Amino acid sequence: MSRSGGMRLEAKRQPLEAELIQGCLQGDRQCCKLLYEQTASVMFGICLRYASDFHEAEDILQEGYIKVFRYISQYRGDGPLEGWMRRIFINTALAYGRRHKCESPTEDPPYPDDEPLTADVLSRLETFELLELVQNLPRGYRMVFNLYVIDGYSHKEIAGLLGISEGTSKSQLARARSQLRKMLANTQQKKTYAKAF
Amino acid sequence: MRRLSDDRLDQHLRAHLQALRVQPRRHIWTLVEQRLQPRNRPIRYLWLTALFTLWHLPLANDWSVQRYSRMQLPAIRIEEAITYESVQQPAFSTLSLAKLRKNYWSEKEAEALPRRPDETGELAAIVLEKISLSTISHPLMHKTIRNEWSIADECNRRWQVGFLVQLNNNWLVDFKNVFKDDVRYQFTMGASYGLTAGYSISSRWALFGGLVHTLGAGQRFANTAVHGRAVDLQFTAKQISLSYLHVPLWMQYELRPSAVRFDRNMRLNLFTGLQYGRLLHFTMDKLKGDMKNNFVLRNNEYSLVGGVAWQLFERDGSLYTVGLRGAVSTPIFTRQMEQYYELQRARNVSLGLFAAISLNRCASRNR
């Protein structure tokens, strides 16, 4: 029952997306706006992960959508539109990162490393706290971490995308994890102190 | 206490962040929409003007008229055709009348032609009608004759003294980043007014000079590379407003009457020249600048100017002209402050629509 209902829904949604794409291809602003409204929250989530702050994420979001609307004719329809858009946003974020390379420190910021990270720390953290931690990673680490851990790219693909060697990608990922552990431990410490006082 | 494994850490972060959905701020769509619209770059206007001029050039210029005359009007001897001058004379000469009779009218028809000065307009119409009916079959030919007719009144040496008013669309173009999309401009209007004077040194070339007061040059802009694209212009925009006394000097080349294209006696002029500008005062973010201690902006500005002017008509010895005029200046900031105000090597660029009235005195006339 629910399966057939789902299929009916799917059948209804499919032409809508196609119509939106068609509308965007014809330069219909209303269709562009609808597509934006339907996908903006997901895409902004991606941008936030790759950006170092909220404003940077908004920049990437804008640039990403400009690319989507300019190059929507290149979408062949052989996969979901969201997947194609995700790739565009990731590439936009990487390009943005390359342009602003020098603005972000590449060395590890100092974090205490005295307390081991435990599983319950993670469970106590909210999504936005985790996001903030990822955003605080140095740009290079953040890119590799996002690509590998969250978006499922292989080290070979990452090396191709970022123009680095596979070895560098692996070492950057290891450093990103290590940095995250330190930052999580730091957060854990802060929370403990906050509770105590 | 068990240490958290890499896989567990990855898994946890993936679970939280992979499906992260955050609604962006509302105005982001407006900014995206704005950027989807064609950009108002000065270069586009200049290209449009250039294209428009080039499109008109072959048909507007008189070599095309001569070509048409030679190719398609063998029967009509242009030099013997009715000229504006001949029909404008209070009582047209017997020579002209003889030509008329000989070429286009029978004696009886010529007798019926108007003779009084106030009927000359009517005569011109009759002449043209006669010519077109009797000898010209191609529609272009009719216009070609009218073309010649207007040329006949050409004054090849004239003095002009006039008044000019111009509305400018201004930009402060960051020439170091001209092909980047980092600076967002807000439409900035300015105005110029002043006196011009000129002398035609040949039937086509004229030399002009002027004294023009320019207000509101500059720009309201935001550097998105500094503030981010999503930031509203309202909060981050910089505004520079400049006022200059300009002394332009330009050469003007007259393309011959463009009657073929415009179906009227309209003259098209191209001009280009140099302009010196003296900074009179400036404001930055609406704060009036101190001209005595100004070390930010250059007091002297030099520009390349150019444009197109359409001489609409001449009435009671006054020429009425409208046109497009563009200018690109040397950098406005001093060498020490070249990268000031979020810009690098910023120059004043303006494209304006002008209207001019000039008193016109003919020094010598084509006969």
What CATH number has the domain bearing residue A26? 1.10.1740.10
How many Å lie between the alpha carbon of A1 and the closest alpha carbon of chain B? 27
Q: Which of A46, A59, A117 sits opposite B4 (nearest CB)?
A: A117
Nearest to B358 by CA among B328, B315, B323: B315
List Cα–Cα distances, B253 to A48, B199, B202, B204, B306, in angstroms.
58, 12, 10, 5, 11
Any B CB within 8 A of A164 CB: no
Token output for B120: 């000359």
The count of structural domains within chain A is: 2
**Residue B176 shares a structural domain with residue B317:** yes
Residue with tokens 């205490």, as numbered in its chain: A112
Whether B95 maps to a domain, the answer reads: yes
pLDDT category at A11 given cuts 50, 70, 90 is very low
The CA-atom distances, in angstroms, between A168 and each of A176, B265, B309 are 12, 74, 63
Backbone φ, ψ for residue B25 (5° rounding): -65, 155
Residues 89-108 of chain A whose Cβ lies under 8 A from any Cβ of chain B: none
Residue A114 within a domain: no
Query: Based on the domain organization, do B143 and B242 belong to the same domain?
Result: no
Q: Identify whether residues A123 and A155 lie together within a single domain.
A: yes
For the record, the structure tokens of B339 come out as 């990268």
Cβ proximity of B355 and B307 under 8 Å: no
Residue A160 sits in the same domain as residue A91 = no
Mean residue pLDDT across chain B? 70
Same domain, B261 and B160: yes
Residues in chain B whose Cβ is within 8 Å of chain A: 1-4, 6, 8-10, 12-14, 16-25, 28-29, 31-33, 35-36, 224, 228-231
CB–CB of B9 and A122 under 8 A?
Answer: yes
Q: Identify whether B252 is part of a domain.
A: yes
Same domain, B239 and B143: no
Instruction: Report CB contact under 8 Å: A149, B13.
Output: yes
A45 touches chain B (CB under 8 A): yes
For the segment A79-130, what is each residue's pLDDT rounded down to a tens digit?
A: 888 889 999 999 999 888 887 765 544 444 444 444 455 555 566 667 888 8
Strand partners, B365: B155
B60 inside domain: yes
CATH at B295? 2.40.160.20
Q: Are A16 and A83 in a shared domain?
A: yes
- Residues B113, B167, single domain; the answer is no
Both B139 and B164 in one domain: the answer is no
Q: Please indicate whether residue B122 or residue B146 has the higher confidence score (pLDDT).
A: B122
What tokens were used for B49?
Answer: 């003007």
**Residue A106, helix vs strand vs coil:** coil
pLDDT at B146: 39
The residue among B234, B339, A50 whose CA lies nearest residue A59 is A50
- Indicate whether B145 and B187 sit together in one domain: no
Whether residues A123 and A173 share a domain: the answer is yes
pLDDT band at B246 (very low <50, low <70, confident <90, very high): very high
8 Å CB contact of A130 and B10? no
Of B284, B279, B307, residue with least CA distance to B196? B307
Spatial distance between the Cα atoms of A141 and A181, rounded to a whole number of angstroms: 13
Instruction: Kindly give, in sequence order, each residue whose CB lies less than 8 Å from that of residue B332, ignoring residues fewer than 6 positions away.
Output: B172, B242, B297, B298, B301, B346, B347, B348
Q: What residue in A sits closest to B28 (Cα-Cα)?
A: A62
Q: Tell me which residue range forms the domain holding B176.
A: 156-365
Per the listing, tokens 């609808």 go with A34
pLDDT exceeds 90 at position B244:
yes
Phi, psi of B321 (to 5 degrees): -130, 140
Using DSSP's 3-state secondary structure scheme, residue A193 falls into helix
Please give the residue of chain B at the shortest CA–CA distance from A100.
B225
B114 vs B91: CA distance, rounded Å: 10
Which backbone phi and psi does B137 adopt, to 5 degrees?
Answer: -105, -30
Decide which of B42 and B299 is more confident.
B299
CB distance B9 to A122 below 8 Å:
yes
Do A64 and A133 fall into the same domain? no
A96 located within any domain: yes
Sign of CA dihedral B301, B305, B311, B317: positive
- What are the distances in angstroms from CA A121 to CA A192, B10, B32? 10, 14, 39
Chain B residue closest in CA terms to A35? B29
Q: Between chains, do A150 and B13 touch, taking CB under 8 Å as contact?
A: yes
- β-pair partners for B271: B252, B307
Domain that holds residue A183: 119-196
If you write DSSP's letter for every residue of A139-179 in order, what string do you get?
A: HHHHHHHIIIIIS---HHHHHHHHT--HHHHHHHHHHHHHH
Tens digit of each residue's pLDDT (9 = 90 or more) over A39-49: 999 999 999 99
- The Cα–Cα gap between B188 and B172 comes to 10
Determine the residue among A48, A61, A155 to mutate to test chain B binding: the one whose Cβ has the most chain B Cβ atoms within 10 Å. A61
pLDDT tens-place string over residues B59-92: 444 443 333 333 333 333 333 344 433 443 333 3
B86 and B176 in a common domain: no
pLDDT tens digits, one per residue of B157-185 = 788 899 999 998 888 887 766 666 666 77
For residue A191, give both structure tokens: 């929370």
pLDDT tier, B155 (very low <50, low <70, confident <90, very high otherwise): low
From chain B, pick out residues whose CB is under 8 angstroms from the CB of A48. 20, 22
How far, in whole angstroms, is CA A104 from its chain's centroid? Answer: 18
Domain count for chain B:
2
Are residues A97 and A131 located together in one domain of the fold?
no
Nearest Cα neighbor of A85 from A96, A71, A98 is A71
Last residue of a domain, one of B102, B135, B151: B151
Least confident residue range of A178-182, B34-38, B81-85: B81-85
* Helices and strands, number each (H, E), in chain A: 9, 0
Decide which of B127, B151, B175 is a domain's last residue: B151
Question: Domain boundary at B125, B151, B177, which?
Answer: B151
**Is B25 in Cβ contact with A62 (below 8 Å)?**
no
